[in-house]
Structure 1
Amino acid sequence: MTPAARVLDELVALETNERLLIVHDRQNEPVARAFEQVALERRARVERIDAEAVALRPWGRCPQEVLAALPGADVTLFAATYEEGEYDARHAFVTLATANRARHVHIVGTSRRAFVNSMLASSTRVFDLIGALRDAVRPHSKIQVRSQVGTSLEVEMAPNLRWFANGSTIRSGQWLNVPYGALVTSPAQVTGTYVVDASMGGGYGSRLGSLSSRPIRLTFDGGRVQRVECRDAAVKAYVEKFIGEAMGHDRVGLLSLGANIGIAAPLGELIHDENMPGVHLALGENFAARTGALWTSHGQLSFAASDTDVDLDGEPLIRHGRYVRLV
């Protein structure tokens, strides 16, 4: 109830008599009911739909009953487990919700534990830190990342590259993934070694969970992966397969500075772990329209590391996964 209240009060500012539409699957029913109860306490009008009761998974398209309920909703919330082949259904929901000027909260592939854990810090504190980070980075900033498990990475920025926030108050026609809390960009150069010991994205990554017992070691030169190492041969083959699938899959498309200071440790869930204080990477897609990157790629594989030390332009920023300045 407390994290649900934090979302509705701090992220979407739900008001009396506004209409909230909650769409969920069976596994997320407890989370959905918490949002329902909080909204009713705020005297909002609530409609809750169990999408699995109206259409079998995987949803190749968004169920018509769900789409028909969207018009007139002031706030929408979609909470479901991650299923391969459901991107189009989720995309259709978000597109129609935002087209109808709803304020949308998206909770996909996030366990109850990760949802609760990611909402321990107030959104104001997280947003203030994201703003302070944005003010601190420069067009030619350099970021150094180290960890006890072997990360030793140098990142360089360039004047054409822009940072954007994964975390802000949601306004009409906008949406936000929860968990949230990072400042994101596309780097100019990445050199060195990055050890992924928290989690990996995608359906396979979500099934693997924590990578602490089988970390992935990525070696970069000029922003491109030169070598993949992992004691688990299946994990190594999966990453190498992604890298070879398409143009740009060997390049670091996104770099994020996790800024959710309520997250103290990884849970093995990428969407949670990538907001943890530290530096996290994604190969492939770089959201060029937002970052200003001069190349493009389709498809993305994201990685999160834990307990990192980060220096920004030679000054300590994070030590052992906790911010030592700007907070």
Structure 2
Amino acid sequence: MNQTANQPLLLATAFPAGFTPGARSAVHTCLRIQPTEKVTLITDQKCLPIAASIAAELESLGCSWTGFVLEQLAPRPLQNMPQAVLEDMESSQVSIFAVEVQPNELRSRMQMTDVVNRRRMRHAHMVNITPQIMMQGMQADYLAVDALSQKVLTLAQQATYVRATTPAGTDLHVKLTPDYKWFKTSGIISPEKWGNLPGGECFTAPEEVNGVFVVDGVVGDYLCARYGILEHTPLTLWIENNRIRRIACDNKLLEEDFWNYTHTDANSDRVGEFAIGTNIGVKNVIGNILQDEKFPGIHIAFGDPYGAHTGAPWKSSTHIDVVGLHFNIWLGNADGKTQIMRDGVFLIEP
């Protein structure tokens, strides 16, 4: 066993019985881990009980696994992903990252996902997972979510543009290009694309976005925990040629924090991701981006476009999602347009 690993702590940590269905879904349905495979399980002190429920499923399955608690390896926030973790991943087929992130840790996560991408590992990204998510979003019917996601993916791949509106004032015009690939991360994780858990979205890098996005759901990264649900203090973003041109919010602290975050580097204010949330098991936003970005509707992200997957040729050191509510969505091409969502409800069947 790796000297820095901590299976005994994980196996000795108590957790609520309500975590078990979500942990079982992660191990068996989403990751489809086999008894012959090896797993790297990464957690921290805050998420220890959640990781313990996953560890119990791994033990029950009988597979080989190594567990790491980040605070026992390096000070937080992490400057880099600990070498012991990266080395262990080199001999694993599956990795699970159940951690509450801290500011300025994106670099360390990118180091981890670089290994995942290079080795084509099945990776469950459970960033900021909470007990509430374990007993809500993680208990969705992921086979049904996957079927709906596949239908959305097929329609999106045929589209050249998207129009999206909300009652709060969002009015987006999105131009798509076949040069950038669409992916579904429906909770069923494959070697082709690691995925967040809970899952449920289809995403690409857009060619061009123009219009207004009213963020009355949540913003991402560590700002999500800081500001919570924005339904009563929405953040309005004006986007031109894929860049943020202006923002406004009654909460001036949020306005300042978001502006600073999206001006960290030359591409931090550039729309890098356009996504449609497809987790029909999620009924409302809860103030946690890990689950809220899967809420049925649209979210976009500014910053890194996940170019290794989408094919977008530029990079950023940041990536922050914004989520809206009650979307109307039309997908269009030269043959016409199809409405796939009305007031937050999908109009298509899997």
Q: TM-score, normalised on structure 2?
A: 0.81
**Matches of 1:93 and 1:293 in 2, distance apart?**
20
Pairs within 5 Å for 1:70-109: 70=89, 72-96=91-115, 102-109=121-128
Distance 1:217 1:35, change over 3 A: same
**SS where residue 71 of structure 2 aligns?**
helix
Contact 1:12 1:171 in 2 (8 A): yes
Specify the alignment match of 2:343 in structure 1: 320
Give the stretch that moved more between structures: 120-129 or 45-54.
Answer: 45-54
Deviates more, 1:35-44 or 1:15-24: 15-24
Does residue 23 of structure 1 match 2:42?
Answer: yes
SS of 1:200's partner is coil
Equivalent residue, structure 2, for 1:113? 132
1:129 aligns with 2:152: no
The residue correspondences of 1:186-201 to structure 2 (distance < 5 A) are: 186-201=205-220
In the TM superposition, residue 257 of structure 1 has moved relative to its aligned partner by: 0.9
Rounded Cα–Cα distance in structure 1 between residues aligned with 2:237 and 2:199: 25
Q: Secondary structure at the match of 1:199?
A: coil
Query: In the alignment, is residue 148 of structure 1 matched against residue 171 of structure 2?
Result: no
Does 2:201 match 1:182? yes
- One-letter identity of the residue aligned with 1:318: M
Counterpart amino acid of residue 212 in structure 2: T
Tell me if structure 1 keeps the 8 A contact 2:159–2:331.
no
Superimposed CA distance per residue, residues 209-266 of structure 1 (whole angstroms, 9 cap, x where no aligned partner): 2222221011233433332110011111223334444434443222101111211111
- Structure 2: which amino acid aligns with 1:253? G
The structure-2 alpha-carbon separation of the partners of 1:114 and 1:144, relative to structure 1 and needing over 3 Å to count, comes to same
1:305 aligns with 2:328: no
**Matched residues in 2 for 1:319 and 1:104: separation?**
33
Question: What are the Cα deviations for residues 100-158 of structure 1, in whole angstroms up to 9, with x where unaligned?
Answer: 66533221222221243222323222222222122212555332222222222222323
Point out where structure 1 has 5 or more consecutive residues left out of the alignment: none
How has the CA–CA distance of structure 1 residues 31 and 88 changed in structure 2, closer, same or farther, with 3 Å as cutoff?
Answer: same
**Does the CA-based 8 Å contact 1:259-1:275 persist in structure 2?**
yes
Query: What percentage of aligned pairs have identical amino acids?
Result: 24
Greater Cα offset, 95-104 or 150-159:
95-104
Letter in 1 for 2:230: L
Alignment counterpart, residue 227 of structure 2, candidates 208, 215, 221:
208
Write the letter of the residue equivalent to 1:179: P
Q: Using the alignment, how far apart are the partners of 1:72 and 1:97 within structure 2?
A: 11
- In the alignment, the residues of structure 2 paired with residue 175 and residue 108 of structure 1 have an alpha-carbon distance, to the nearest angstrom, of 13
Q: How does 1:205-244 map to 2 (within 5 A)?
A: 205-244=224-263
Which TM-score applies when normalising by structure 1? 0.86
Corresponding residue of 1:268: 287
C-alpha distance 41-52 of structure 1, shift in aligned 2 (>3 A): same
